[in-house]
């Protein structure tokens, strides 16, 4: 399985946790950006916007903490390819959303962006959000599975 994974798409929750300084996510993102998938690591513009929105909406955080987290995001994005959204991914997502009432529209958009750029895997903390896509052409990998733990020494 590991050798078949060449390009990886990061779900928003990985970015959010990285920016907020969660140690395990920092290790994962550093390894993915610096060693394993340095040239083949992707997020969508939607993930960036969602991450910024989540950071800014946290009322318990100080302005300085929010600025630090935005700066972390800005720095890590220098090492990750940000993929734009088109109407095609949005239309496909809504079509699938209307067929399957058990899926989240945002995760569906992420799936179609990852599919557009032919990613081999999506790394997420919420594999259950992508259950409708399991068995399709993209592997859905839970962030702390043995595979990820083996990658991150």
What is the predicted pLDDT for the residue at 30?
86
Q: Is residue 2 very low, low, confident or very high in pLDDT (cuts 50, 70, 90)?
A: very low
Q: At what angle do helices 23-31 and 12-19 cross, to 10 degrees?
A: 120
Q: Is residue 141 very low, low, confident or very high in pLDDT (cuts 50, 70, 90)?
A: confident
What is the predicted pLDDT for the residue at 43?
95
Contact in structure between 69 and 29 (CB atoms under 8 Å): no
Contact in structure between 109 and 93 (CB atoms under 8 Å): yes
Contact in structure between 89 and 112 (CB atoms under 8 Å): yes
Query: How many Cβ atoms sit within 10 Å of the Cβ of residue 111?
Result: 26
Mean pLDDT across the chain: 86
Q: The whole model's pTM is what?
A: 0.86
Nearest to 35 by CA among 8, 68, 75, 70: 8
The domains located in the chain, with CATH, are: 2-151 (3.40.50.1010)
Give tens-digit pLDDT for 37-83.
667 899 999 999 999 999 999 888 899 999 999 999 999 999 999 99
């Amino acid at each position: 399985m590991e050798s078949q994974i060449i390009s990886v798409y990061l779900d928003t929750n990985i970015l959010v946790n990285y920016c907020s300084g969660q140690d395990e996510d920092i290790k994962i993102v550093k390894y993915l950006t610096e060693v394993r998938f340095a040239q083949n690591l992707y997020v969508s513009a939607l993930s960036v916007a969602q991450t910024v929105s989540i950071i800014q909406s946290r009322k318990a955080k100080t302005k300085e903490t929010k600025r630090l987290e935005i700066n972390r995001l800005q720095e890590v994005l220098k090492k990750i390819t940000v993929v734009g959204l088109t109407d095609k991914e949005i239309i496909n997502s809504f079509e699938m959303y209307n067929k399957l009432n058990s899926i989240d529209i945002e995760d569906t958009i992420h799936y179609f962006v990852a599919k557009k750029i032919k990613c081999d895997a999506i790394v997420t903390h919420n594999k259950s959000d992508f259950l409708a896509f399991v068995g399709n052409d993209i592997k859905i990998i839970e962030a702390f599975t043995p595979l990820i733990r083996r990658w991150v020494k």
